[in-house]
Amino acid sequence: MRESVREILRCPVCRGALEGDELLACGGCGRRYPVEDGIPRLLSSDLPGSAEKLRETAGWVALAQAEGWYEPDDEVDAHLPFLCRDLGWDDPNWLANERSFALLLERVRPGTDVLEVGAAKCWGAAQLVPLGCAYVGSDILADPNVGLGRGAFYESRVGPFARVQADAEHLPFAEASFDLTYCVATLHHALDLPRMVAELARVTRPGGHVAALNEGTRPIWRGQGNPVQADEKAFGINEHVHTLVGYERAFRRAGLRVLVREHAHGVEELARRRVSRQLLRLPGGKDLALAWASGLRGYAGVTLVAAKPR
């Protein structure tokens, strides 16, 4: 376990301080958490929704095995998330991820303390650690191939960083620990969206930023049953789809001020569409076009960057 993260770790149940090396003991409630392969295992069965989260950890592994992407591919993983730019992939999901992540990188400065929530393999570390950031990756999945365990691959390339198995709705970190807290296509897995956003805000320092990259949205006239998510739901993965208004409401409730709203494929995508292209010409056209694309036209992806007031 990285020394840099030890002092900010907290019990996810009572938020008491944790002490120990191979076994972390809470000084508040006495609960104990193991550290395996350098990764603190801070999921607790005493938390609300724990059964659903544990089922999801198994579901991701089963889905990856069923779809044939469980075994690691060093060539692919080395270029995440820029698979379209670097490897010529024609994949709209990864194109949205790389464009959203590039937007995030524009706001990062050396010395930034960064937490990625829903980090999976921790490919974000490969981009952020070389910039001089102190990176922490958290996820409910610690699997060696498709979870935090795969972070060892990136450590071998950019140097050590911290990884913590944790539930994003009960983050095991002290308040105001990070300058930037972000996630990539993760908020829609929350059982309680406002709670997850509130947790992202809680662990972020005043004056810091919270970002949600490439989150799926639905039109306001559709329900939460996105048929595209049916396969993942069948594996026990927690899937939901929210409106842009719903995401922004959760940010406001958490005391965050949204600074950036972007279509996950960028304004270039909006400019290619007839209605949104016309809206872009109006005052405030960028927000109008995004509202049309994500709130009325159909399912879309959106990136939000917000500030936590000082």
State residue 160's pLDDT score. Answer: 95
Give the type of residue at 230: A
Contact (CB, 8 A) for 117 and 182 = yes
Average pLDDT over residues 266-275: 88
Torsion, CA 110, CA 116, CA 119, CA 122, rounded to 10: 20
Dump the DSSP string for 106-164.
TT--TT-EEEEET-TTTTHHHHHGGGT-EEEEEES---TTTSGGGHHHHHHHH---EEE
Distance CA 196, CA 283 (A): 33
Kindly tell me if the per-residue pLDDT of 295 is higher than 80. Answer: no
Q: Is residue 45 pLDDT above 70, yes or no? A: yes
Q: Report, as an integer, the average pLDDT of 107-132.
A: 97
For the stretch 49-70, pLDDT in tens is 999 999 999 999 999 999 999 9
Least reliable range by pLDDT among 71-75, 157-161, 180-184, 291-295:
291-295
| Token pair listed for 291 | 């509202």
User: pLDDT tens for residues 249-270?
Assistant: 999 999 999 999 999 998 888 8
Calculate the CA 157 to chain-centre distance: 22
pLDDT beyond 90 at 173? yes
In 3D space, the residue among 97, 262, 300, 148 whose CA is nearest the CA of residue 86 turns out to be 97
Give the pairing of strands 113-117 and 300-307.
Answer: unpaired
Nearest to 61 by CA among 70, 71, 51: 70
Average pLDDT over residues 97-113: 95
pLDDT of residue 230: 82
Q: Is the pLDDT score of 222 beyond 80?
A: no
Q: How far is it, in rounded angstroms, from Cα 18 to Cα 204?
A: 20
Amino acid 270: pLDDT: 86
Task: Give the mean pLDDT of 296-309.
Answer: 88
Identify the CA nearest to 218 among candidates 123, 300, 273, 97.
300
What's the pLDDT band for 90 if we cut at 50, 70, 90? very high
Residue 39 near residue 142 (C-beta atoms within 8 A): yes
Element (H, E) at 62: helix 50-67
287 pLDDT above the threshold of 70: yes
User: What count of Cα atoms within 13 Å lies in the side-chain half-sphere of residue 133?
Assistant: 25
Q: What angle do CA 187, 193, 199 make, to 5 degrees?
A: 85
Give the per-residue pLDDT at 223.
Answer: 67
Q: Is the pLDDT of residue 182 over 70?
A: yes
pLDDT given at position 229: 79
Residue 62 identity:
A
- The number of angstroms, rounded, from the C-alpha of 72 to the middle of its chain's C-alpha atoms is 21
Question: Residue 103 pLDDT > 80, yes or no?
Answer: yes
Q: Computed from CA positions of residues 47, 49, 50, 53, in that sequence, does the dihedral angle turn out positive or negative?
A: negative
Averaged pLDDT of the chain: 94
